Amino acid sequence: MIRYFGAALIAAGTATGAAQAQGFSGGELSAQTQLMLDDFELGRSTYSGSLEGEAYGFGFAGDLSRYSFGIFDDNAGNVTLHGFYRLGYVGTAGLFFARDWLDGDDASLYGLEGAMDLRAVSLEGYLGQRKGDAVDGTMVGVSADVAFGLAYSAGADFDYIDGDDGDSLRRIALGGEYALAGGPRLWAEIGQQQAERDGDSDSSAFIGLGARIEFGPASGTTFDPRSLFALGGEISR
């Protein structure tokens, strides 16, 4: 997995210089992993890279993510495309289209998304559909972050998919982030993910650790990747 993340870092650095004259506004590289507290096993690990461009209020972004579950390499991944428009200085409205893939199965995700920056408070949300070989249904998610100065922030995330067959997946987390001076942003979270399948409920508590590097004039991107795998590890397969 490290080799993929390193390759993404080199590619992003090369693309940054070439994209400056084409409306490049920001990018991000991140790595994260989670530990399931019920059995103290490794859950989902994620490696992602994102680039964003903007001109005259209109913007476009792309995310590429790779996922592993536990100690096994399942070749799971996601690509997400965003198109958006800035609503003044505080709001952004957009559309997204994404593809999930795992062991030869794939699915499409599409929908609406929005973001707001209210001084120290940042809000993001999405509503969409997932159609594919495994889980189909309506997806919704919201997140909020509060900044305490330039280095510290705290936030909460909620994601949910209501499957067409009556099954459902839910993830909720609380966390905090610290920005190293001139370096990456480090974060930690604690939360719970729950699946309802065939009338049975399966829930797991977890802790997550991660780091991300933001670059470009806007220092990062507007929206997160959209993927069913972001809801958890084995619980989302």
Looking from the CA of 117 toward its CB, the CA atoms found within 13 Å total: 10
Residue 72: per-residue pLDDT:
56
Residue 142: per-residue pLDDT:
97
Q: What's the CA gap between 138 and 140, in Å, rounded?
A: 7
Which residues does the chain have with pLDDT short of 50? Answer: 1-21, 233-237
Q: Which residues pair with 177 in a beta bridge?
A: 153, 187
Contacts of 56 (CB under 8 A, 6+ apart): none
CA angle 74, 77, 83 (to 5 degrees): 170
Residue among 112, 159, 157, 158 nearest 135 (CA): 159
Q: Which residues pair with 209 in a beta bridge?
A: 33, 188
Residue 104: per-residue pLDDT:
74
Which residues form the domain of 6?
2-236
Number of domains within the chain: 1
Give 222's DSSP letter: S
Residue among 130, 119, 207 nearest 165 (CA): 130
Residue 88: per-residue pLDDT:
86
Residue among 159, 192, 170, 146 nearest 34 (CA): 192
Residue 175 is encoded by which pair of tokens? 């966390």
Residue 209: per-residue pLDDT:
96
Q: What's the CA gap between 136 and 102, in Å, rounded?
A: 15
Collapsed DSSP state (helix, strand, coil) of residue 61: strand
Q: What's the CA gap between 43 and 85, in Å, rounded?
A: 36
Residue 2: per-residue pLDDT:
44
Residue 129 is encoded by which pair of tokens? 């559909």
Residue among 49, 45, 47 nearest 68 (CA): 45
Q: What's the CA gap between 227 and 15, in Å, rounded?
A: 24
| CATH code: domain of residue 187 | 2.40.160.40
